């Protein structure tokens, strides 16, 4: 009987265990003892070999001000498919953290880039003009060519070729369908309750013929799965590259965000993911670099493990960090752009790399990624009743000229943040509802 009465929460829990991709939700942090974080296997071996020296290291905690900032360790022994790329490994366990605030200097993050739109964009007025800016006639003509080529290859005796005008009508129908939902595709052409604009645009049989043969890339060039250059997204690659090029042509604002986004689908596909805390739980997962208004400058479709395509100047600091670095390639360097992200992406090596590139970062971070010497209070200590809501503790460290601030702040749960440009100060006041009434609580600047 118990087997038939499982709660929805239990079902979602077991489904999460089957997920082969990482989930970037803050609520899934462990409530138990925190594990040590070692960026590479060599770091773990070094800690094990130097375990006898741990007591001596702890005895120096009271004299942190006389210990110089630790250097960056270049771990050449770490294997890499890109021989030209540097491999940066921070010795996180030896970083020196000091209980003091990080001074906020507004001039140090003054934006040196531009957010002004060019005249060609300012002259766009109608929705069709905006659509045509991103889906150019040249790109649509390429789709027509690839679609007709596939039609010839598939059924040379029955040519179902399409024209540029028919492709435009087809895309217009898809836009209508995304707004007005019918139970079935053929329902839009129903005699009694059909959608008049769609009925006038194209017969249903023509629409379904286009849907069967629509292609964006040459299937004959799709390399087999055992080939080292195999691309799981080969059929969509021209669309992805074109849209990313057009999206990134918009001037990039100073404040940016990186996160996942789900493209919802009910179809069965090996790339479909399950993220339980997203509005659309099932779908294709996209990593997106966007502005604070939600405009996407660049996106990457998650397709499982891919080949190493790092550029010569990019470090080898993990698969997740490499995804963030790939998204950030379009960001101008040393213009003081600021990236916000959650604890799935936040690591010390990644923030150090961006700081050296003139890009500032702030994001929530998993407590165990800061090392043992960062003495931020544990979750159990912060959430004690005697600790008032709004309390915070800040520690800073210096890495080869880069200042980093870690802040633990108590809200309805513990929030741990890491930043390269701002700490807890200046303190602000925010309102939170508690026991059906609004109360003011202190809030540090990195959180707000």
Contact 360, 108 (CB under 8 A): no
pLDDT digits (tens, 9 = 90+) for 82-137: 444 454 567 888 899 999 999 988 888 999 999 999 898 999 999 999 999 999 99
> What string of DSSP letters covers 169-181?
HHHHHHHHHHHS-
Which H or E element spans position 127? helix 127-134
Answer with the residue of higher pLDDT: 69 or 159: 159
Averaged pLDDT, 190-197: 93
- List the single range of 65-69, 354-358, 431-435 with lowest mean pLDDT: 65-69
Residue 369: pLDDT band (50, 70, 90) is very high
Q: Is the dihedral of CA 64, 69, 72, 75 positive or negative?
A: negative
pLDDT at res. 205:
94
pLDDT at res. 154:
82
Is pLDDT at 81 greater than 70 in this prediction?
no
Averaged pLDDT, 320-324: 94
> How far is CA 405 from its chain centroid?
22
> How far is CA 444 from its chain centroid?
25
d(CA 340, CA 410): 20
Alpha helices in 309-444 (DSSP H): 319-327, 348-356, 379-382
Angstrom CA distances, 382 to 158, 281, 393, stand at 71, 32, 10
Residue 396: pLDDT band (50, 70, 90) is very high
Residue 77: pLDDT band (50, 70, 90) is very low
Is pLDDT at 197 greater than 70 in this prediction?
yes
Is pLDDT at 219 greater than 70 in this prediction?
yes
pLDDT at res. 417:
96
pLDDT at res. 70:
41
pLDDT at res. 429:
77
Lookup: tokens for 92: 């996180």
The residues, ordered by sequence, that sit 6+ positions from 440 with a Cβ below 8 Å of its Cβ are 429, 430, 431
């Amino acid at each position: 009987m118990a087997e038939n009465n499982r709660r929805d929460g239990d079902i979602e829990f077991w489904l999460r265990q089957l997920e082969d991709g990482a989930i970037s939700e803050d609520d899934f942090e462990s409530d138990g003892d925190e594990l040590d974080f070692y960026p590479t296997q060599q770091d773990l071996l070094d800690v094990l070999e130097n375990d006898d020296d741990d007591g001596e290291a702890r005895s120096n905690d009271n004299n942190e001000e006389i210990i110089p900032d630790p250097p960056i360790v270049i771990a050449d022994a770490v294997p890499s498919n890109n021989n030209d790329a540097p491999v940066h490994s921070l010795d996180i366990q030896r970083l020196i953290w000091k209980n003091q605030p990080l001074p906020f200097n507004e001039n140090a993050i003054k934006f040196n880039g531009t957010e002004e739109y060019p005249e060609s964009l300012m002259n766009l007025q109608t929705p069709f003009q905006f659509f045509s800016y991103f889906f150019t006639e040249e790109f649509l003509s390429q789709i027509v060519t690839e679609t007709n080529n596939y039609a010839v290859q598939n059924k040379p005796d029955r040519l179902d070729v399409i024209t540029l005008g028919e492709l435009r009508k087809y895309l217009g129908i898809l836009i209508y369908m995304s707004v007005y939902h019918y139970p079935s595709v053929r329902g839009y052409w129903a005699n009694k309750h059909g959608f008049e604009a769609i009925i006038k645009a194209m017969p249903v049989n023509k629409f379904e013929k286009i849907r069967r043969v629509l292609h964006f890339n040459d299937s004959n060039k799709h390399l087999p799965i055992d080939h080292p250059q195999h691309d799981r997204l080969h059929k969509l690659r021209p669309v992805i590259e074109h849209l990313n090029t057009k999206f990134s042509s918009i001037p990039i604002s100073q404040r940016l965000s990186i996160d996942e986004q789900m493209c919802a689908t009910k179809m069965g596909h090996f790339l479909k993911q399950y993220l339980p805390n997203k509005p659309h739980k099932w779908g294709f997962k996209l990593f997106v670099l966007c502005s604070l208004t939600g405009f996407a400058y660049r996106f990457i479709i998650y397709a499982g493990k891919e080949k190493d395509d790092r550029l010569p100047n990019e470090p080898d600091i993990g698969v997740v960090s490499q995804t963030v670095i790939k998204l950030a390639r379009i960001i101008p360097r040393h213009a003081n752009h600021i990236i916000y992200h959650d604890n799935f992406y936040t690591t010390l090596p990644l923030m150090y790399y961006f700081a050296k590139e003139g890009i500032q970062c702030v994001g929530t971070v998993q407590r165990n990624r800061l090392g043992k010497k960062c003495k931020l209070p544990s979750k159990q200590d912060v959430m004690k009743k005697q600790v008032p809501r709004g309390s915070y503790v800040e520690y800073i460290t210096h890495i080869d000229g880069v200042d980093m601030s870690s802040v633990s702040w108590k809200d309805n749960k513990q929030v741990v943040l890491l930043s390269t440009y701002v700490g807890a100060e200046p303190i602000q006041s925010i309102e939170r509802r508690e026991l059906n009434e609004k109360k003011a609580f202190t809030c540090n600047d990195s959180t707000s």
